Amino acid sequence: MNNNWELIISGSGGQGAILAGIIFAEAALADGYNVIQTQSYGPEARGGASRSEVLISKEELAYPKVQQCNLMVALTQESLDKYGPLLADGGTLIIDEDIDASALNTSIKVYKAPIFTAAAKLLRPMVANVLVLGILNTVSGIVSMESLVNAVRARVPAATTDINLAALEEGSKIGKELSAKAFKGGNI
């Protein structure tokens, strides 16, 4: 089992990639991991590229930046095109079903999920970032669901807690379906 993860969550400004990274980092910290979370934004307020990096380890972390990304979420084609080359051989990628990952190394495990379709069914497309955390954690098994739920509760606006927790649960269901397909050797 892996005890060191170098995670990048990327998307377009306004999609909540930074918040998703903060929430995941908080959950990992609550579970006793050493964690470093950093972020970068494009110059635009909305629509520019944004990226959250989260380093998670049982060991001491010596460098605050991702060097060998082994886990990535890309919420847009632009963010995948920009950050996809940082994904190490054998890494895991989670993307929306409409994103094309064919240009990436074939050793990368790609999970294509209906991220935005599922978020729209919850009647709140803005919860796609939390929905993807449910997928991410289910396929990676890094943090406990209890810590992830608590981190969501602590970080989202109080008025949106219930819809965000519903999105997290839906993402977990999708992650279980994707994991089952991967176990059976199907296309994920």
Residue 148 forms part of a structural domain: yes
Residue 92 forms part of a structural domain: yes
42 has a pLDDT exceeding 70: no
DSSP 55-110: EEESSPP--SS-SSEEEEEESSHHHHHHHGGGEEEEEEEEEETT---TTS-TTSEE
Report how many domains make up the chain.
1
Taking residue 29's Cβ as centre, other Cβ atoms within 10 Å add up to 16
Report the distance separating Cα 87 and Cα 105, nearest Å.
9
pLDDT at residue 64, rounded to an integer = 86
Q: Exposed e or buried b for every residue in 168-188, given b needs 16+ CB within 10 A?
A: bbbbbebbeebbeeeeeeeeb
Mean pLDDT score across all residues of the chain: 91
Q: 84: domain CATH number? A: 3.40.920.10
pLDDT at residue 175, rounded to an integer = 95
Residue range(s) defining the domain that contains residue 77: 4-183
187 has a pLDDT exceeding 80: no
Residue 188 forms part of a structural domain: no
The model's pTM: 0.92
